[in-house]
């Protein structure tokens, strides 16, 4: 089976999520990658280490125009005869995967968390109900587009190398114009973060976030928060996780001063390990936790930071 | 300004998620349906604000059965001018997108708005598919939108920052948090909604591109292990040795 994987490089590099997508493709069939931008040929060929046999790169398309990217991916799928297109369920993937599916008359699996089961048709497990359940979705069309959530399947290094070719196609006009970009600073964006430290109303005020940031820094984690904290402006909106915020699935989620309301859990309960710190031993979050500390975040967080620093120093 | 807002129902956020019929059907027992929050709070309310400022009309469209009419009336109570229901159960995103595109293709809507995703299927598929079928630009996860003449200026967060983009109408937009504030319908709105036009349109014939064959609940979490504030070294050791999280 021929598979096309679409990934995007940033600052000349590919993220772990991209390696996951390439590995995922390689487990389904012979994998070609389509990408764009200015990553070096070495970096592009490096995708072979995750199973790509060929990397097609378009050097002219502007990554902001999903209509053009859609045409690029469609043209690459036609050129390689791919029946299955794999993308990452991130912001760009969410914008273009449905378009590519509609253009290819392909069924679209959004939010895949496992490899396809082909024992009876083509069935892929996806998360639904904001992570409270999974659905096994069957694709009825001969072609399909799969959007993979990050941190679901680990990338597998194969030691291979890929050939690199420039790929051009008729992309139509660019209809979206970016007028201004604002950077939020460095750091791993929340949806891709493997370690997340999050805090809620229990922290009492924005001036107290230093102890949250200290722990995040010690761990190399990304910070997050509950919805009310973003709503009252203690923290920026992009940190809000939950049903109406960002849905995340890190390896480790540490929540301090968050009660664990069902809407909060909806966005975080796919985390592999959850640590809850709360003064109230009855807080609902403890039911979803792997590890719990009944205690005051103002006391526990600095101690945990110290223990992490000690652990890191001993490594 | 002529705006079309796609409205979907969704189970209330506190609903217990369970399945019946050998895990093939969502258990609707005791489930309260609401307007999908992203559709209501953000897409619909921003559409209403734009029309209040610039004139025009807001039509809502729903692919669903008669059972969906209470959620459609709620959208009318919040202020939409009229509503369309495409008479078919919403079983597959491509099916839904095709129905909406078919209805919208010759009506001259300036913007077709959706929420960023539904809170039940979380697919975020329908809006992009509508855009592709109609060959329109698609702005996903918009957090602010202003429209002047036929140019829209949209702000949204992107990985690592935010951006301001410009796009000409017509286009498709999916709305995320920040677009608007939730509006609670008042009594007058609720009364008026009863008599606002709700047109039922037959569905066009489209094959479902996907079918849900079964559902599963996540495996139960193991019991929570407790540590005291004095046992942080032990907690870190457990995170390292047992959970392999660090
Ligand atoms: C439709 C809908 C969608 C929603 N979507 C989301 C969403 O996406 N994300 C989200 O987070 N919420 C969401 N909510 C809100 C959600 O219901 C809760 O209100 C919210 O998550 C509570 O935030 P919190 O835990 O920070 O605050 P609280 O519920 O006020 O909890 C604070 C917690 O801190 C503890 N605490 C207090 N002091 C300390 C201390 N010194 N040390 C340690 N612990 C302490 C308290 O015991 C308590 O458990 C949504 C609600 C609705 C209705």
Q: Are residues A309 and A212 in the same domain?
A: yes
- Whether the pLDDT of residue A52 is over 70: the answer is yes
Q: Are residues A128 and A239 in the same domain?
A: no
In this prediction the ipTM stands at: 0.92
Residue A146 lies in a domain: yes
Residue numbers in A near B96 (CB within 8 A) = none
pTM: 0.90
Q: Are residues A155 and A17 in the same domain?
A: yes
3-state SS assignment for residue B237: helix
- Angle, vertex CA B208, rays to CA B207 and CA B212, nearest 5: 155
Q: What is the mean pLDDT of chain A?
A: 95
Best of A257, A282, A287 to mutate for ligand 1, by most ligand atoms within 8 A of CB?
Answer: A257
CATH number, position A273: 3.40.50.1220
Answer yes or no: do B246 and A128 touch at CB < 8 A.
no
Q: Are residues A251 and A201 in the same domain?
A: yes
Residue A175 lies in a domain: no
Q: Are residues A136 and A209 in the same domain?
A: no
> What mean pLDDT comes out for the span B148-161?
90
How far B195 CA sits from the closest chain A CA (Å)?
32
The minimum-distance atom of ligand 1 relative to the CA of A260 is 25
Q: Which residues contact A214 (CB under 8 A, 6 or more apart)?
A: A301, A302, A305
Residue numbers in A near B124 (CB within 8 A) = 94, 98, 110
Q: Are residues A158 and A233 in the same domain?
A: no
- Angle, vertex CA A147, rays to CA A145 and CA A153, nearest 5: 125
Selected residue with higher pLDDT from B96 and A62: B96
- Ligand 1, atom 8: nearest CA belongs to which residue? A242
Tokens of B124: 């975020």
- Angle, vertex CA B215, rays to CA B213 and CA B220, nearest 5: 155
Residue A204 lies in a domain: yes
- Whether the pLDDT of residue A229 is over 70: the answer is yes
- The predicted-structure confidence for B117-135, as pLDDT tens digits, reads as follows 998 888 889 999 999 999 9
Long-range contacts of A234-238 (CB under 8 A, 24+ apart): A234/A203, A234/A205, A234/A206, A234/A209, A235/A206, A235/A209, A236/A184, A237/B143, A237/B157, A237/B177, A237/B178, A238/A184, A238/A190, A238/B157
pLDDT of residue B8: 96
- Whether the pLDDT of residue A185 is over 70: the answer is no
> What mean pLDDT comes out for the span B73-96?
97
Best of A132, A190, A196, A200 to mutate for ligand 1, by most ligand atoms within 8 A of CB?
Answer: A200
Q: Which of A26-30, A298-302, B158-162 has the lowest mean pLDDT?
A: B158-162
Q: Are residues A92 and A227 in the same domain?
A: no
Q: Of A111, A177, A182, which has the smallest distance from its Cβ to B162's Cβ?
A: A182
3-state SS assignment for residue B63: strand
Domain residues for the domain of A200 are 190-313
> What mean pLDDT comes out for the span B92-115?
97
Q: Given pLDDT bands bounded at 50, 70 and 90, which one contains residue B160?
A: confident
| Domain total of chain A | 2
> What's the CA-to-centroid distance between B124 and ligand 1, angstroms?
26
> What mean pLDDT comes out for the span A62-70?
91
Cβ-based neighbour number of residue B104 at 10 Å: 22
Q: Are residues A162 and A209 in the same domain?
A: no
CATH number at B2-216:
3.40.50.620
Residue A205 lies in a domain: yes
Q: Are residues A70 and A28 in the same domain?
A: yes
Chain A, residues 51-70, CB within 8 A of chain B, namely: 64-67, 70
How many residue pairs from chains A and B have C-beta atoms closer than 8 A?
A: 267
Q: Given pLDDT bands bounded at 50, 70 and 90, which one contains residue B3?
A: very high
CB distance A259 to ligand 1 below 6 Å: yes
Task: Dump the DSSP string for B85-111.
Answer: EEES----HHHHHHHHHHHHTTS--SE
CATH number, position A20: 3.40.50.620
- Ligand 1, atom 14: nearest CA belongs to which residue? A263
> What residues does each domain of chain B span?
2-216
Does the CB of A191 have a partner CB in chain B at under 8 Å? yes
pLDDT of residue A186: 61
- The predicted-structure confidence for B220-239, as pLDDT tens digits, reads as follows 878 999 999 999 999 999 99
Residue numbers in A near B218 (CB within 8 A) = 131-134, 269-270
pLDDT of residue A237: 86
CB distance A208 to ligand 1 below 6 Å: no
Q: Are residues A278 and A134 in the same domain?
A: no
Q: Are residues A25 and A144 in the same domain?
A: yes
């Amino acid at each position: 089976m021929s598979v096309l994987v679409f990934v995007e490089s940033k600052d000349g590099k590919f993220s772990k999520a991209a390696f996951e997508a390439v590995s995922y493709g390689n487990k389904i069939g012979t994998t070609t990658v389509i990408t764009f931008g200015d990553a070096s040929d070495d970096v592009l060929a490096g995708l072979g280490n995750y199973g790509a046999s060929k990397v097609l790169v378009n050097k002219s398309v502007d990554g902001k125009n999903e209509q053009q990217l859609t045409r690029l991916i469609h043209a690459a799928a036609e050129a390689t005869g791919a029946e299955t297109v794999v993308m990452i369920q991130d912001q760009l993937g969410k914008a273009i995967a449905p378009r590519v599916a509609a253009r290819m008359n392909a069924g679209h699996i959004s939010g895949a968390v496992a490899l396809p089961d082909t024992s009876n048709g083509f069935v892929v497990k996806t998360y639904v109900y904001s992570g409270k359940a999974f659905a096994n979705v069957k694709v009825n069309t001969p072609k399909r587009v799969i959007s993979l959530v990050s941190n679901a399947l680990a990338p597998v290094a194969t030691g291979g190398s890929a050939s690199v070719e420039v790929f051009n196609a008729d992309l139509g006009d660019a209809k979206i114009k970016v007028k201004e970009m604002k950077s939020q600073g460095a750091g791993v964006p929340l949806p891709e973060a493997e370690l997340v430290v999050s805090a809620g109303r229990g922290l009492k005020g924005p001036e107290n976030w230093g102890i949250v940031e200290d722990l995040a820094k010690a761990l190399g984690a990304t910070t997050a928060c509950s919805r009310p904290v973003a709503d009252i402006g203690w923290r920026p909106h992009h940190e809000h996780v939950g049903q109406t915020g960002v849905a995340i699935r890190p390896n480790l989620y540490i929540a301090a001063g968050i009660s664990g309301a069902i809407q909060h859990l909806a966005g975080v309960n796919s985390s592999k390990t959850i640590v809850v710190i709360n003064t109230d031993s009855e807080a609902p979050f403890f039911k979803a936790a792997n590890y719990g500390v009944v205690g005051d975040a103002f006391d526990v967080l600095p101690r945990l930071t110290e223990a992490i620093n000690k652990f890191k120093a001993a490594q | 300004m002529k705006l079309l807002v796609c409205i979907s129902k969704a189970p209330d956020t506190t609903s217990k998620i369970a399945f019946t019929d050998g895990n093939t059907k969502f258990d609707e027992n005791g489930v309260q349906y609401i307007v999908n929050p992203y559709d209501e709070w953000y897409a619909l309310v921003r559409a209403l604000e734009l029309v209040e400022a610039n004139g025009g009309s807001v039509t809502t469209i729903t692919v669903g059965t008669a059972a969906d009419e209470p959620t459609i009336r709620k959208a009318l109570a919040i202020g939409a001018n009229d509503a369309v229901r495409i008479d078919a159960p919403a079983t597959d995103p491509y099916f839904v997108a095709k129905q909406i595109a078919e209805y919208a293709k010759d009506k001259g809507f300036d913007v077709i708005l959706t929420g960023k995703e539904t809170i039940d299927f979380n697919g975020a598929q329908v809006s992009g598919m509508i855009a592709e079928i109609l060959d329109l630009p698609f702005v996903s996860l918009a957090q602010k939108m202003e429209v002047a003449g036929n140019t829209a200026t949209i702000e949204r967060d992107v990985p690592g920052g935010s951006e301001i983009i410009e796009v000409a109408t017509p286009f498709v937009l999916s709305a995320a948090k920040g677009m608007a504030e939730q509006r609670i319908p008042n009594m007058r709105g609720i009364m008026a909604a009863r008599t606002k036009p709700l047109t039922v349109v037959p569905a066009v014939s489209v094959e479902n591109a996907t079918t849900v064959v079964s559902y599963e609940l996540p495996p139960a979490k193991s019991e929570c292990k407790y540590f005291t504030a004095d046992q942080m070294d032990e907690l870190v050791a457990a995170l390292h040795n047992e959970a392999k999280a660090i």
